[in-house]
Chains A and B, each alone.
Chain A
C-alpha cells in the first residue's frame, strides 16, 4: 500500500505481518466477522498514510501494529494511564479510546513527530533528559506529549498546576518530582 504526501514523498506502509490482530486490545474475546473494512487515510506527523482497517481498530493499534510507530505506548489500554497520549489537531488525547476511523481528516502528532527534521529535540524532550525525568521510560512518550500540550494550554504556571494538569499521566516508577521539574523548566524556556 502506498500513498502520496503533500511533499510528494511516497510512504510505503509496513507489510501485512504487522497487521492488527484480535487479542491485542480485545482481551481474547472471540473474533466476530468484520461487518466492513474501512479504507481510511490518516495524517500523522505531516505524512499521509492509507490503511484498510476494521472499524473497531483504535488509533493506538493503528499506530503501533499497522504503521509501526511504536513510540506511542500501550499501558492500560482503557484510558487510565496516559501512556498513549498523542495530539489530534494540536490537542492531547488518548489514542487507546480513539477509533482510527474517527480521526480521518484530523492532524495527528505522535512522539516521533516532535523533534525537528534535523534531530534537534523539542524543548520538553531536552528538559526530560536534563532533569532525568524517568526511570524505566515506558510512560515517557505520553508524559512528553502531555507536557507539550500542558504548556501550550497555559496550564504550567506553577508546580501545583503542573501536577493537576499532568495527573492523567501515571508513572509507576514514581518519577513525578523530576517530571514536574522538567515541565517547569521547559515551560520557562518556551515562554522566554
Chain B
C-alpha cells in the first residue's frame, strides 16, 4: 500500500473542501478504500477521514419515508425496527451482505461507493488492462474467466458486475441520494459502463454523500430481497432480486410491483419490463414466471456466465411468489 497523508474532517464543509483536492479520497468505514489500497487499485495521496463527523448517522423512519444518514452503519440500518417493518427488502439486503464485522464498519454512503469485485479490476499487477482503472487499456475479463461477470448493461469496454445488495433494494423503491447541493435517483447515480467504464457514479469532485431517502409505499412494506449465491452466507450474489408487491382488494390482482436485480448487471438494475407485464394481472405462477423472463431482454453472456440468464428470472419469480404467500 502506497502511503498517504491522513486528515480528519470534523465537518461536512471541511470534508467537501478536502475532497476537492486532487488525489484525495474520503474514508468512512474503510472496507472498500483500505482493501483497494492494499490491492494497489486505490492510490490516494490524501485520505480524508469523515467517520468522526457528528450527526450524519441518523436513521429516521415512518410510514411515509426513511431518511438515513450517510454515516449510518449497515448493521444498524439492518436491525432498525422501522426499516424492518416499512422496508423489509432494505433490511434483508443489508443483513445478507458481507459479514457482521464488515457491516459494523461499512456505512450507507460508502456502500453506495463500493467498487466491483471483478478479479481483473482488483489485480493491477497481473492484469494491467482494465478500462475501469486505466481508460482505453482494454478489458481483461472479456475472453477471461467470466463466471461472475454481468450479462445486463455490458459494453465492449467492461462487463464488471455491480456487487452490492443495498442499492438493488433502493432502486426498486425509487430512493434518492442526497449530495448536498443536489439530489438524484439512486438509479441515476449509478452509471453503466458504455465507453466510459471508469465513470461509475454521478458524483463530482467536492461532493459528499449526505444520505438517502426512500419513499414509503405499500409495495415497500410488502417486500423481500432474495439472494442466491455459491455458498449460503458471506458471498456476493450469483443473482438476486429486490421485489415489492401490492395487491388489489381482491387479494389476487397486482396493483403495484417493483423488481430490481443484483449480481447480473453492471449497475443496480430495475426490471421495468417485468413490472409493466405484471401490473393489473392476477398473481398466478405461470404468469409470473413468463413475465420474469422479460428481465433478460438484451442480455449478453460471455460463456461461463450464461447460467445467469436462466437463473435471474427464477430468482425474480421465486421472490414474487414468496411475497404472494405472505399476508
Contact = CB atoms under 8 A, between A and B. Distances in A.
B233 A163 contact: yes
Interface string B25-67: 0010011001101111000010101011000000000000000
Q: What is the predominant secondary structure among interface residues of chain A facing chain B? A: loop
Contacts, number: 103
A7 interface: no
Contact of A92 (B31, B45, B52, B101): B101
A94 B3 contact: no
A65 interface: no
B81 interface: no
A164 to B, nearest CB: 5
Given A93-B104, A168-B102, A101 B234 contact: no
Nearest to A33: B3
Interface residues of B, number: 33
A154 B120 CA distance: 39
A32 B37 CA distance: 14
B4 interface: yes
Interface in A26-67: 26-27, 29, 31-36, 38, 54-56, 58
B99 interface: yes
B100 A149 contact: yes
A34 B6 CA distance: 11
A21 B92 CA distance: 41
Given A79-B102, A92-B100, A168-B101, A99 B2 contact: no
Contact of B100 (A31, A98, A99, A155): A155
Interface string A1-38: 00000000000000000000000011101011111101
Nearest to A54: B3
B100 A35 contact: no
Contacts of B234: 167-168
B30 A98 contact: yes
A92 B103 CA distance: 9
A165 B40 CA distance: 30
Which of B1, B37, B98 gathers the greatest number of chain A CB atoms within 10 Å? B1
Interface of A: 25-27, 29, 31-36, 38, 54-56, 58, 77-79, 82, 85, 91-94, 96-99, 101-102, 105, 146, 149-150, 153, 155, 163-169
25 contacts: A25-B38, A29-B1, A33-B3, A36-B5, A38-B6, A54-B3, A55-B3, A56-B1, A78-B39, A82-B99, A85-B101, A91-B104, A92-B101, A94-B101, A97-B102, A97-B105, A98-B30, A99-B49, A101-B8, A102-B51, A146-B101, A153-B79, A153-B100, A167-B233, A168-B100
